[in-house]
Chain A
């Protein structure tokens, strides 16, 4: 649904980087690795939170 606020494993706040990551790496055509490095998301536990996330709010919103 919405991006998790924190990394499941280490507890770093990752939610704040989602919108920029989505815009640059998913919508845009930048390399996800470089975007994550620039955002300062270093550990692989935090990186997978953003890389593997799919926003589903738009999918479920018609079924209120």
Chain B
């Protein structure tokens, strides 16, 4: 695919962004979405060795909770699949064990959120465990899914056509996403997702702009949104290259 395409950010934060991509096919837009969910490797705890667990939860339950804690994922090339990073946790009650209590053997792999409660420990209870984090993909386990709630909508073009009759009760026109208004991009949250707030007393038309997609991407903290999107595009490329090599004579 050598056609030109444009990317424009509408909202941009570290873990949450909305951007417009113009000039790609719906199939490619969906390919990127799926790659962001299932094909970008992230770090997550996979094996836990319990030294002591006298809490009210079983070892397996705690291992699942530890696995779901997002860990920062190192830059590409630092780790390959099958490499492990050991994290340890040692908390004695009365206290709550938090994800921030995990001590990592590698500075590049740290809990992305420090305040996730793992288990509430009462007087005399203790949790001591060693955990191995591995690099894997979202299609193998949801804990390795770097992007959460990734989706896209068509960009919608709004135009006012005519005035409504003077005494007619205006209907609500609910629209969500981002609209285009004389070339300007306006998130619908600016007018409470209701076009009758923005165009009072006017009849408006709404149409999808072909091949323009507004992506909404959030990450779990493993990496930034930019990192997630570029890595997703890289996985598509590497799989395409693999296919090309496989079918060559």
- A-side residues, CB < 8 A to B, are 1-3, 5-7, 10-13, 15-16, 18-19, 43, 55, 57-58, 60-61, 64
Contacts and interface: CB of A to CB of B under 8 A. Distances in A.
A23 B163 CA distance: 51
Interface string B99-122: 100000000000011111111101
B116 A15 contact: yes
Given A5-B65, A57-B56, A16 B116 contact: yes
B217 interface: no
B56 A13 contact: no
B68 A5 contact: yes
The 5 residue pairs across chains A and B that have the minimum distance between CB atoms:
A5-B68, A15-B116, A16-B115, A11-B148, A57-B120
B72 interface: no
Interface in B10-64: 54, 56-57, 61
Interface residues of B, number: 26
B217 to A, nearest CB: 12
Given A1-B56, A1-B57, A13 B116 contact: yes
B218 A19 contact: no
Nearest to A7: B148
B149 A12 contact: yes
A5 B149 contact: no
Given A2-B57, A2-B118, A5-B116, A13 B70 contact: yes
